[in-house]
Amino acid sequence: MEKSQIKGFIAARVAKELKDGDVVNLGIGVPTLVPNYLPEGVHVTLQAEIGIVGSASAGDNPDPIHIVDAGGAPSGVRPGGCFIDSATSFTLIRGGHVDATVLGGLEVDQEGSLSNWLIPGKKMPGMGGAMDLLVGAKTVIVAMEHTAKGAPKILKKCRLPYTAVKCVDKIITEMGVMEVTDKGLVLTEYNPEFTVEQIQAATEAELIISPDLKPMA
Amino acid sequence: MPKFVSIEEAVKLIPDGATVMFGGFMGCGSAHKFIDALSKSGVKDLTMICNDGSMPGGPLGEDYYGVAKLIHNKQVKKLITSHVGLNPEVAQQNMQDGTLEVVLVPQGSLAEMIRAGGAGLGGVLTPTGVGTVVEESPLCLGKQTIHDKDYLLMAPLHADFAVISGYKIDKAGNVWYKGTTMNHSIVMATAADTVIAEAEQVVEVGAIAPEDVRTPGVFVDYVVEGGLY
């Protein structure tokens, strides 16, 4: 797969996880591409940490001083949406009112723990709202490239400091779809450009191959 | 009733070493004119409580946006925040220079800790951060199990000052916020000894309908008029 196609490919597969009417919070990076791939008839309400329910593009008259997204870029609100304060925003997030969150990761492990906020001594971006989202959202989907410069990102156990433990439901990469279960990571779908052996070789955690394994679609 | 003062007078209220909450999220909702004046005041050794470290490069071409001005001028000795990834000067001053202490707190916990500080509560029990290094934070007071679920006890936050910004503030100090500018200002306005609110516009009482007031004027001590930003 061409490098330039990977992000769109992952986002398109993630979009199929979302159901009509879901309240969804999207992290930065690949997750922000997901709305571009929603199937026809599926409409979701996007929630943004900064305090938007029903966030939308900034449109023709952006107001970068007063209406921005969690990354500080101009944003907008769709008809029927609203603006809320931080405590209410995290009441939605932590209180189980967000149906799904899609986040990127530096590392994710077979127990469903995720690390994506700190590289000790090197990078300290901070957790922002990620810890609350992982704990509070009903469904947590990690959307990321399968490896980083060839090194596995899907591990037996995260080595970087955790963002949250045992919180991830599903991992979607350009190689496949993995579900987190009590027994470990179950490969349920694979990208036919790769063999199952190649996917396992790119994964540190041992994959359980689903009896219903099918091509990613 | 709040006092209406000039930005210069309000800046003089803040002494060296003060603990100050700043509303704003990546600079959105920051009290821009007040912060600009504070950044030129020479006040130092501030403990800053803010959602994030903002960023260099504002939407109107500002060199430093929002609280990033205060960080750039090295007026902050301690920063309690949830995210500093878009302001490289925070990591520089923390990890290389060793001049800035940073306490990272999950964003939702930060909002509730400030809310608790303003609401007279002794802390916040949250599942966020369980099993992570947040358990070792100086602001984490312990762990409790309630109905078989683990929670962290996070300290309430209170400050000497809160500095917020509203699009319209009436002469009774009632605040109306535009768009996403309200973010943490709603809770911060309740959690400081002295609350300074910058108005983009000062309006007559009645110009904001009572049901549209988001921060009641009773929380506000000083109003400064910054003009439209």
Q: What are the structural domains of chain A?
A: 3-215 (3.40.1080.10)
Is residue A29 very low, low, confident or very high in pLDDT (cuts 50, 70, 90)? confident
Cα angle, residue A52 at apex, residues A49 and A56 outer, rounded to 5°: 115
Q: Is A200's pLDDT higher than 90?
A: yes
The H or E element spanning position B170 is strand B159-170
Average pLDDT, chain A: 96
Coil/strand/helix, residue B110: helix
Q: Which of A68, A77, A121 sits opposite B28 (nearest CB)?
A: A68
Q: Is B67's pLDDT higher than 90?
A: yes
Closest to A202 (Cα-Cα) out of A185, A215, A182, A214: A185
Pairing of strands A207-215, A184-190: parallel
Q: B3-105+160-225 has which fold?
A: Glutaconate Coenzyme A-transferase (3.40.1080)
Q: Residue A217: its pLDDT value, please?
A: 80
Inter-chain CB proximity B106 and A85 less than 8 Å: no
Catalytic residue flag (residue A49) = yes
Strands (E), chain A: 23-26, 45-48, 52-56, 76-83, 100-103, 107-109, 114-115, 139-143, 147-148, 151-152, 154-155, 170-172, 176-181, 184-190, 207-215
Which is catalytic among the residues A2, A17, A49, A107?
A: A49
Q: How do the domains of chain B map onto residue ranges?
A: 3-105+160-225, 122-155
Inter-chain CB proximity B83 and A72 less than 8 Å: no
Which residues of chain A are within 8 Å of residue B108 when distances are taken between CB atoms? 86, 89-90, 93-94, 129, 131-132, 136
Question: For an interface test with A, which of B55, B124, B180, B201 has the most A Cβ atoms less than 10 Å from its Cβ?
Answer: B180
| Amino acid of residue B153 | L
Neighbours of A161 (CB within 10 A): 17
Q: Are B102 and B94 in contact (CB under 8 A)?
A: yes
Q: Are B184 and B215 in contact (CB under 8 A)?
A: no
Q: Is A190's pLDDT higher than 90?
A: yes
pLDDT in tens, B194-213: 999 999 999 999 999 999 99
Question: For an interface test with B, which of A97, A132, A168 has the most B Cβ atoms less than 10 Å from its Cβ?
Answer: A132
Inter-chain CB proximity A51 and B167 less than 8 Å: no
Classify residue B209 as exposed, middle or buried by CB count within 10 Å of its CB (0-12, 13-18, 19+). exposed
Average pLDDT, chain B: 98
Classify residue B216 as exposed, middle or buried by CB count within 10 Å of its CB (0-12, 13-18, 19+). middle
ipTM greater than 0.85: yes
Is residue A64 very low, low, confident or very high in pLDDT (cuts 50, 70, 90)? very high
- Over residues B79-91, the mean pLDDT reads 97
Closest to B2 (Cα-Cα) out of B146, B207, B158, B196: B196
Q: Residue A138: its pLDDT value, please?
A: 98
pLDDT in tens, B100-145: 999 999 999 999 999 999 999 999 999 999 999 999 999 999 999 9
Which residues of chain A are within 8 Å of residue B82 when distances are taken between CB atoms? 126-129
By residue count, chain B amounts to 229
Neighbours of A3 (CB within 10 A): 8
Report the share of chain B in percent with pLDDT over 70: 100
Q: Residue A92: its pLDDT value, please?
A: 98
Q: Residue A28: its pLDDT value, please?
A: 86
Q: How far apart are CA A158 and CA A127, in angstroms?
A: 16
Q: Is A113's pLDDT higher than 90?
A: yes
Is residue B192 very low, low, confident or very high in pLDDT (cuts 50, 70, 90)? very high
- Locate the chain B residue with the closest alpha carbon to A64: B59
Residue B6 CB-half CA count within 13 A? 4
Q: Is A10's pLDDT higher than 90?
A: yes
Q: Residue A71: its pLDDT value, please?
A: 86
Q: Residue A70: its pLDDT value, please?
A: 86
* Torsion of Cα atoms, A151 then A107 then A201 then A111, to 10°: 160
Q: Is A1's pLDDT higher than 90?
A: no
* Torsion of Cα atoms, A180 then A4 then B57 then B22, to 10°: -10
Closest to A161 (Cα-Cα) out of A213, A204, A105, A206: A105
Inter-chain CB proximity B91 and A132 less than 8 Å: no
- Over residues A79-95, the mean pLDDT reads 98
pTM of the complete model? 0.97
Q: How far apart are CA B162 and CA B192, in angstroms?
A: 5
Q: Are B195 and B221 in contact (CB under 8 A)?
A: yes
Question: For an interface test with B, which of A61, A127, A159 has the most B Cβ atoms less than 10 Å from its Cβ?
Answer: A127
**How far, rounded to the nearest angstrom, does the alpha carbon of residue B228 sit from its chain's CA centroid?**
20
Q: How far apart are CA B164 and CA A176, in angstroms?
A: 47
Distance from CA of B191 to the nearest CA of A (A): 13
Q: Is B170's pLDDT higher than 90?
A: yes
